Chains A and B, each alone.
Chain A
Amino acid sequence: QSALTQPRSVSGSPGQSVTISCTGTSSDVGSYDYVSWFQQYPGKAPKFMIYHVTKRPSGVPDRFSGSKSGNTASLTISGLRAEDEADYYCCSYAGNYIYVFGGGTKVTVL
Chain B
Amino acid sequence: EEQLVQSGGGLVQIGGSVRLSCAASGFTLGNFWMTWVRQAPGKGLEWVANIRDDGSGKYCVDSVKGRFTVSRDNVKNSLYLQMDNLRAEDTAVYYCARDYSDSGPDLDCWGQGALVTVSS
CB-defined contacts of B10 to chain A, threshold 8 Å = none
Closest beta carbon of chain B to A53's beta carbon, Å: 12
Give A49 to B99 CA distance when docked, in angstroms: 14
A38/B44 in contact, CB under 8 A = no
B-facing mask of A1-32, CB < 8 A → 1, else 0? 10100000000000000000000000000000
Classify the interface of chain B: helix, strand, loop or mixed: strand
A36/B47 in contact, CB under 8 A = no
B-facing mask of A63-96, CB < 8 A → 1, else 0? 0000000000000000000000000010111001
How many chain A residues sit at the interface, stated as a range, is 20 to 34
Residue on A nearest B47 in the bound complex, by CB: A99
Closest beta carbon of chain B to A100's beta carbon, Å: 6
B57/A97 in contact, CB under 8 A = yes
Residue on A nearest B4 in the bound complex, by CB: A45
A97/B45 in contact, CB under 8 A = no
B103/A48 in contact, CB under 8 A = no
Most buried by B among A47, A100, A101, A103: A101
A-B contacts, 19 of them at CB < 8 A, read A3-B44, A36-B104, A36-B106, A45-B95, A46-B37, A51-B108, A91-B45, A92-B105, A93-B103, A93-B105, A97-B59, A98-B50, A99-B50, A99-B104, A99-B105, A100-B47, A101-B44, A101-B45, A104-B45
Q: Residues on A close to B: CB < 8 A?
A: 1, 3, 34, 36, 38, 40, 45-48, 51-52, 57, 89, 91-93, 96-104
The 9 lowest CB-CB distance pairs between A and B, nearest first, are A104-B44, A99-B47, A45-B110, A97-B59, A99-B105, A48-B108, A101-B45, A91-B105, A51-B106
